Amino acid sequence: MKGKRNIFLVGPMGAGKTTIGKQLAEILKLEFVDSDHVLEERTGAPIDWIFDIEGEDGFRVREEKIIEELTQEQGIVLATGGGAVVSDKSRNHLAARGVVVYLETSIEQQLERTRRDKRRPLIQHGNPRETLEALMKEREPLYTEIADLTVATNISSVKSVAKEIVELM
């Protein structure tokens, strides 16, 4: 495992970071942490409220601080928010402090998995497909830049993706 003790999952909304992360943590006997969840617990407010009140910029400031803090943990599987990689600082922390796994998926799969979800305010309005495509164009180079491993999550089941990651490490 390259001597590193953390696994950081990056990838777009609906890639399966939370579901696969939980499975991976169970297999590897590590603690599972979801950065969006920690952020909601700390603020006492759901993600869409934070976006409403503080805007995306306000959310990103909070997200950057949480990533800085959580990447200092040892022995965790961390599911990051899809936009965490936009911050240079967060990318540096993720790349330096754990094995970064990019969960790659299709727009179809993202649309299927993110229907009616309040933790994804970026696709609550407008055309979700166009938004997801635009975000992917902007972020895919950032995911691949810091990824130690890239795993496709489209076809395989959660268990087999988690096993594949374990075997690749």
Q: Binding of ligand S3P at residue 128 (CB under 6 A)? A: no
Piece of 65-73, 94-102, 113-121, 148-156 that binds ligand S3P (CB under 6 A): 113-121
Piece of 64-72, 78-86, 140-148, 155-163 that binds ligand S3P (CB under 6 A): 78-86
Q: Tell me the C-alpha to C-alpha distance, in Å, between residue 120 and each of 31, 47, 79, 81, 82.
A: 24, 8, 15, 10, 10
Beta pairing, strands 76-79 & 31-34:
parallel
How far apart, in whole angstroms, are the C-alpha atoms of residue 54 and residue 49? 8
Count of Cβ atoms closer than 10 Å to residue 145 Cβ: 12
- Taking the least distance from each CB to ligand S3P, the nearer of 2 and 137 is 137
- Least separation in angstroms between residue 118's CB and ligand S3P is 9
Can you read off the two tokens belonging to residue 27?
A: 């297999």
Q: Binding of ligand S3P at residue 121 (CB under 6 A)? A: yes
Q: Binding of ligand S3P at residue 98 (CB under 6 A)? A: no
